[in-house]
Structure 1
Amino acid sequence: MAQILVYGDSNSHGTIPLRVLGGFDRHPKATRWPERMADRLGPGVEVICEGLPGRTTVHHDPVDGGNRNGAEVLPAILPSHAPLDVVVLMLGTNDLKPRFATSAFDIAKSVERLVGITRAALPEVGIVVVAPAPVRETGVLTEAFAGAEARQAGLEDHFAEMAARQGVTFVRAGDHVQVSDIDGVHWEAEDHVRFGDAMADILGGMLDVTLATPKAAGRLAEPDPSLPQPPVTLDRAVPRDWVDYNGHMNEAHYLTVFSDATDQMLDWAGMDAACVAEGHSVFTVETHIRHLDEVNIGDRIEVRTRVMEGGGKKLHVWHELSVGGRLCATGEQLLLHMDLSTRRSAPPRRDVAAWFTTAKEAHAGLPAPEGVGRFVGQRT
């Protein structure tokens, strides 16, 4: 089994954006990016997360105290989890606090010291250096990070230069996530999921791992498939980076939403990482999306999904996306269950087939949804 160590701060720990100074809470375990990455990498990979809120690269914290000096603790952490295949270093955010009076150049040099410590302890280990997402001076952490926006100028470039110098893999977290508007430092749940997926792609390539089918981001409770009401398969706010030039949700993300809704239903049915590792999966054959009303940034969107056909090789689902009870879009998808060893369609695993058969029969008595079977340009 391959083993990955994530060595980071509160954004690896999963701290929820702070609304009150001194408040503290964590995102659910499955939402945190290291756990999301582990789910995608599958059962053949173990991800160990050593994330400590307030951890710095090389500094003792004179205000908050605690064992927050990353360089001091790392030499004990590494052998305690050895053998390791990959070490992910994602630190530097807390170094931007004014109490440490350091520069972007020195923060990158401090992470370079952590690279050296890692190599000295584990000479053959793969190393990934992550430049933290840029912070913003807002919310309850404004004073704690006063001047950070100016101090972080050039930080990502210094990280990239250092990583090239050391011959390690480099990732810009800011290419994938943004800090929350609430406190300017921590990540919302959807950003954790997005970054976990991105890191799974990167580390999956390093370890030559086939990624598992992703679970939907919502962590919704599994419904009873025998109930006639189509279940809610996605419930989330529209993030600000989904905006387009018209100021509303970009069309590309409707596919993301409906894909996540399908993944959530597949996960309920039993098509989890272990199932995919056994060789069972689905391939999408066709998707038809209708845009019926505007969806704006910040809107709370809900998707309900109906099983039109299921239990055999074909899975035909109908999604309805609503905002406050107002139908805004529909998505119709046809998927085929696949045997990954042959890359050909095949019946799903017995438990998956039973779940979708039950859901199909439960939904069969509902009126045909308006628009099902439509194609572009069809007359009504």
Structure 2
Amino acid sequence: MTGIKTILAFGDSLTWGADPESGGRHRYEDRWPSVLEAGLGGSARVIAEGLGGRTTVFDDHAAAAERNGARILPTLLGSHYPLDLVIIMLGANDLKPHVCGSAIGAGAGIERLVEIAKTYPYGRGAAAPQVLIVGPPLFGETLAGDRQPAGGRSIAESRKLAARYQDAATYCGCAFFDVSRVAVASPIDGVHLDAGNTRAIGSALVPVVAGLLGL
């Protein structure tokens, strides 16, 4: 494909831009997909598809909207192709105890999402996009009395995600980036990010994405 590249950013509340302090949403210019697009200097557009509570492949029947990523991803691929790159940053919600609770399960879910992105029946002349798996930030202790991350999630399991996702990327033949190297969860809830850490993800991904797309 030539011309401006098209990137789908598929994620959860971290991609949507949840602000742990206000309980609302970060400004458009502070969300990591926006920062990534700006950093690519007009050579690509980034379609932000983030939904709070989204999982890789698991159902959450306590939710008001469909949160199973494997169910909605084919629809989004069909809506937005041709695509040059799909960035998948999911797994934080898989670690909720009532959803899955383990990095092993999240890794299996990520592998399934990559498979969907690579095998979807894109239209005539449209090639399958590259895929970049992004490991979410580590959970952290909170300022609350029990110091536990929101939703009863396990800090220890979050520390296993990067290694599991690197294995998934190797197995699936795609790229991987661990944003825990550049972003730290807010102590307000131990999961979500302040504006500075959200922007840091987009900035860190600029050279990674530029390299993958030859920009």
Change (3 A) 1:147 1:185: closer
By how many angstroms is 1:100 displaced? Answer: 1.6
The AA in structure 2 aligned to 1:128 is: L
Matches for 1:11-50 after TM superposition, within 5 Å: 11-18=14-21, 24-50=23-49
CA distance in 2 between counterparts of 1:182 and 1:40 reads: 29
The CA distance in 2 between the partners of 1:172 and 1:143, in whole Å, is: 20
In 1: Cα distance, 2:149 partner to 2:40 partner: 39
**1:176 maps to which residue?**
182
Q: How does 1:62-81 map to 2 (within 5 A)?
A: 62-81=61-80
Give the 5 Å matches for 1:157-236.
157-209=163-215
For residues 95-153 of structure 1, what are the alpha-carbon distances to aligned partners after superposition, in whole Å with 9 as ceiling and x for unaligned?
11111243211110111000001111155311000111111242579474325113334
8 Å Cα contact 1:137-1:148 kept in structure 2: no
Q: Paired residue for 1:59?
A: 58
Q: Note if 1:131 corresponds to 2:130.
A: no
What displacement does 1:45 show?
1.0
Question: In percent, how many aligned pairs have the same letter?
Answer: 36
Distance (whole Å) between structure 1 residues aligned to residue 59 and residue 100 of structure 2: 13
AA aligned opposite 2:128: E
- Kept in 2, the 8 Å contact 1:137–1:145? The answer is no
Identify unmatched segments of 5+ residues in structure 2.
none
What is the deviation of 1:60? 1.5
Match of 2:113 in 1: 114
Larger radius of gyration between Structure 1 and Structure 2: 1
TM-score (norm 2): 0.89
Structure 1 pair 56/43, CA: closer, same or farther in 2 (3 Å)? same
Q: Where do 5+ consecutive residues of structure 1 fail to align? A: 210-380
Specify the code of the residue in structure 2 equivalent to 1:126: Q
Rounded to whole Å, the distance in 2 between the matches of 1:150 and 1:181 is: 16
The question of whether the paired residues in 2 share the 8 Å contact of 1:38 and 1:47 is answered with yes
Q: Which has the higher helix share?
A: 2
Query: Which structure would you say has the larger RCO, counting Cα contacts within 8 Å and 6 or more residues apart?
Result: 2
Count of aligned positions: 205
| Equivalent pair of 2:150/2:191 in contact (CA under 8 Å) | no
- Hey, what does 2:11 align to over in structure 1? 8
- Secondary structure of the residue aligned to 1:6 is strand
Greater strand fraction, Structure 1 or Structure 2: 1
Match of 1:216 in 2: none
Output the TM-score relative to the length of structure 1: 0.52
Residue 96 of structure 2 corresponds to 97
* C-alpha contact (below 8 Å) 1:3/1:84 kept by paired residues: yes
Structure 2 CA distance for aligned equivalents of residues 194 and 151 of structure 1: 23
Partners of 1:177 and 1:42 lie apart in 2 by 23
CA contact (8 A) 1:136 1:148 kept: no
After superposition, the C-alpha distances for 1:209-253 in whole angstroms (9 at most, x for unaligned) are: 2xxxxxxxxxxxxxxxxxxxxxxxxxxxxxxxxxxxxxxxxxxxx
Work out the CA distance in 2 between the residues paired with 1:168 and 1:101. 24
